[in-house]
Amino acid sequence: MPDKTAFALVDAFTTEHPFSGNPAGVLLLDEFPDRRWMQGVANELAQAETAFLAPGEDGAFRLRWFTPAAEVALCGHATLASAHWLWESGVLQQEVLAFTTRSGRLTAVREHNRIVLDFPAAPATQVASSPELLAALAGPVPAWTGVTDHPEAGERNMLAVLASEDAVRDLSPDLQAVARLPVGGLIATARRQAGGVVSRYFAPAYGIPEDSVTGSAHCTIGPYWRADLGTTLSAEQASPRGGDLTVTTTDTGRILLAGQARTAATGFLH
């Protein structure tokens, strides 16, 4: 690796307030270095996700995501951050960006002041609420529980639909119990009184006690709420930082995630 490697910290799925959304590290490299180096960088930057980009074929970029603890198969906010940084830094000016990832080909397009990501849907299949889930929720009893499908257990999410917006906002889960669930993360969601939906996401097994805004979780939230609330949802993730996005569930098994991003900082790794 060179003596200095540039990086950016980008807030993704921001609200109108500063220091909102989910920060992601973004590094543009010539080639992917040793996996241990990338994991070390992600741990050093200490963001929920750090994205590593390298040129690929047909004008696409290869893209990988690391939490402080592990590599993951899909990340929405770090993809949004990557697209934002590629455009803002002047590396690319084309209107459509393509990424080659472990979850297939993803795209990003600019629409006015927002970026729209095209992601695979990850609907949840209903399961019974287990004693382990109830212990993790530490109080609320979900009205509906489901689990997403993925060959790797750590890439699955559990979806808990709660009775009210306040139940989601006031949720104080037992994070040790959440980490013991047979999934990578726990999504809690409910209808929002002002319209749309509200959610929170917890993934302590990946070094993320609570994620600020989780694009990939909305690939599950959108399909669940579609029958009741329609194809397009306004969505709020009620983390301490908070974040907003629009979620569109298509008829082709894809999810469109739209949100804003801001560059928060740039620097060098030595």
Considering its fold, how many domains does the chain have in total? 2
Q: Are residues 29 and 46 in the same domain?
A: yes
Instruction: Specify the pLDDT at position 2.
Output: 67
Domain hosting 171: range is 124-256
Instruction: Specify the pLDDT at position 218.
Output: 98
What's phi and psi for 17, nearest 5 deg? -95, 145
Q: Return all residues near 131 (Cβ < 8 A) that are at least 6 apart.
A: none
| DSSP structure class, residue 104 | E
Catalytic residue (one of 16, 44, 49, 88): 49
Q: Are residues 75 and 149 in the same domain?
A: no
Active site residue 49: yes
Q: Are residues 166 and 215 in the same domain?
A: yes
Which residue stretches of the chain have pLDDT < 50?
none
What's the pLDDT tens digit per position in 149-198?
A: 999 888 999 999 999 999 999 999 999 999 999 999 999 999 999 999 99
Instruction: Specify the pLDDT at position 92.
Output: 81
Q: Are residues 210 and 224 in the same domain?
A: yes
Q: In angstroms, rounded to a whole number, what is the distance separating the alpha carbons of residues 13 and 242?
A: 9
Q: Are residues 235 and 192 in the same domain?
A: yes
Question: Does 119 reside within a domain?
Answer: no
Q: Are residues 94 and 210 in the same domain?
A: no
Question: Does 60 reside within a domain?
Answer: yes
**Is the C-alpha dihedral spanning 91, 92, 96, 102 positive or negative?**
negative
Tokens linked to 17: 């307030």
Tokens linked to 60: 């696409």
Looking at this protein, which amino acid is placed at residue 7?
Answer: F
Contact (CB, 8 A) for 23 and 6? no
Instruction: Specify the pLDDT at position 197.
Output: 98
pTM: 0.95
Find residue 259's DSSP bridge partners. 115
Looking up residue 44, the CATH number of its domain turns out to be: 3.10.310.10
Q: Is 45 helix (H, G, I), strand (E, B) or coil?
A: helix
Q: Is 136 helix (H, G, I), strand (E, B) or coil?
A: helix
Q: Are residues 181 and 246 in the same domain?
A: yes
